[in-house]
Homo-oligomer: A and B are copies of this chain.
Amino acid sequence: MPATERTVFIISDGTGITAETFSHSVLSQFESVTFRQVRVPFIDSVEKADSVVQRINRCAADQGNPPIVFTTLVNPDVLGRVRLANALFLDLFGAFVEPLEHHLGMKSSHSIGKSHKAVSSTQYRNRIEAINFSLAHDDGQFVSGLAQADVILIGVSRCGKTPTSLYLAMQYGVKAANFPLIPEDFDRGALPSTLMPYRTKLFGLTIQPERLMEVRHERRPDSLYASLPQCRHEVAEAERLMRRESIPMLSTTTKSIEEISTTVLQEVGLDRHSAY
């Protein structure tokens, strides 16, 4: 294995998804190295820990390099075993629990798999309910439920409304409907009348016509719908309409669904606990 490739184990007593995402963003600071991430979830016993140690050691021997290990293990016995392996250990919990204990003047509970466990919690149920809501209110379906929406994303077809709605629901339990702006709306020069009662919930997404053309071509190759003139016309008309109606607007062209969602939450005032 060349020096520019390294194996990374993410070892967790839960899913390890958060640690995996976090480790990915830390490791992206080392651009010249290719990291191969191996997520090892549900390590909640000494026996499983011992088997992980074998995997790590086999990897170290094969590659001639100790791998990098991110752990979020809470149980000290399990963590102690894993630490016997030949690796660079980065203990995500250990690094922060101790300063927090000192700051808060109390001991941590050292309990396992807290983060996603509370399936019966209100917060978790809200997420599932929001996913169902966003699915049912995708692309202007079931307009009768729009009164319950936290936000209604509008924009031309294929500008990024659906993935953003689903992300907002899944990550934040936000009931995000979405509603297309179509050529008929531009001919009339007005927002769909269905949306008028919900003016304050509207958030506009827009996109560069060239990028829109690419996205539409994937769906309907060589159609009028995907042609550059049509994309230019629709985007220009949609932006004009949204500007005239003073609807906040964001271009999705170079933004991820995480970035779009974050901006939507800020602009629509849905970020939680924003007293400060």
On A, residues with C-beta under 8 Å from B are 6-7, 9, 14-19, 21-22, 24-33, 36-39, 41-42, 55-56, 58-59, 68, 72, 74, 88, 90, 92-93, 95-97, 99-100, 103-104, 106, 108-111, 114-117, 119-120, 124, 128, 131-132, 135, 138, 162-163, 166-167, 170-171, 254-259, 261-262, 266, 271-276
Contacting pair A41 B266 (CB below 8 A): yes
Q: How many copies does the complex hold?
A: 2
Residues of B within 8 A of A16 (CB): 262
CB distance from A83 to the nearest CB of B (A): 14
**Chain B hits for A162, CB < 8 A:** 131-132, 135
B29 near A18 with CB under 8 A, answer no
A276 vs B56: C-alpha distance in the bound complex, in angstroms?
A: 7
5 contacts between A and B (CB under 8 A): A29-B111, A33-B104, A33-B106, A38-B274, A135-B138
Known: A17-B262, A117-B256. A273 touches B26 (CB 8 A): no
**A254 shortest CB reach to chain B, Å:** 6
Roughly how many angstroms separate A15 CA and B258 CA in the complex, as a whole number? 7
Determine how close the nearest CB of chain B comes to the CB of A219; give it in whole angstroms. Answer: 8
- In the docked arrangement, what's the CA distance between A167 and B97, Å? 29
- Shortest C-beta distance, A96 to chain B (Å), equals 5
**A254 contacts across to B, CB distance below 8 A:** 119-120
- The answer to whether B58 and A276 touch across the interface, beta carbons within 8 angstroms, is yes
In contact, B170 and A17 (Cβ under 8 angstroms): no
Is A119 within 8 A of B25, CB to CB? no
Q: Kindly state the separation between the CA atoms of A109 and B135 in the bound complex, as whole angstroms.
A: 40
A259 and B15 form a contact (CB under 8 A): yes
Contact B29 A273 (CB under 8 A): no
- The answer to whether B108 touches A30 (Cβ under 8 A) is yes
Contact A18 B14 (CB under 8 A): no
Q: Are B262 and A97 in contact (CB under 8 A)?
A: no
Of A41, A58, A99, most B-chain CB atoms within 10 Å: A41
Q: Which of A18, A92, A132, A266 has the most CB of B within 10 A?
A: A18
Top 4 A-B pairs, shortest CB-CB distance: A25-B115, A28-B114, A29-B108, A116-B256
